[in-house]
Amino acid sequence: SAVAFMKKNINKPLSLDDIANSIGLSRSHITLIFKSETGYSPVTFFTHLKIQHSCTLLKYSNTSIKEISYNLG
């Protein structure tokens, strides 16, 4: 659920509170679960998603680096 929320909101700046609230868990609980399942904290995972999405846009679209940076933060 948290990953789906992150992907849906890839163009927004999300905090740990935003992610935790989206699935009804505390900050510490989501961090513990996320780290055990993925090896990353939720915020680090979200950053990786943004980087992956940026790479996809660079490869398969004509969007400039400047636009991608602006749109994904």
Q: Closest Cα to residue 22, out of 4, 10, 45, 40?
A: 4
Residue 72 has pLDDT above 90, yes or no: no
Residue 73 has pLDDT above 90, yes or no: no
Give buried/exposed letters for 5-32 (b at 16+ CB in 10 A, else e): bbeeebeeebebeebbebeebeeeebbe
Residue 10 has pLDDT above 90, yes or no: yes
The 10s digit of each residue's pLDDT in 20-56 is: 999 999 999 999 999 999 999 999 999 999 999 999 9
Residue 7 has pLDDT above 90, yes or no: yes
- The predicted pLDDT at position 39 comes to 94
- The predicted pLDDT at position 35 comes to 93
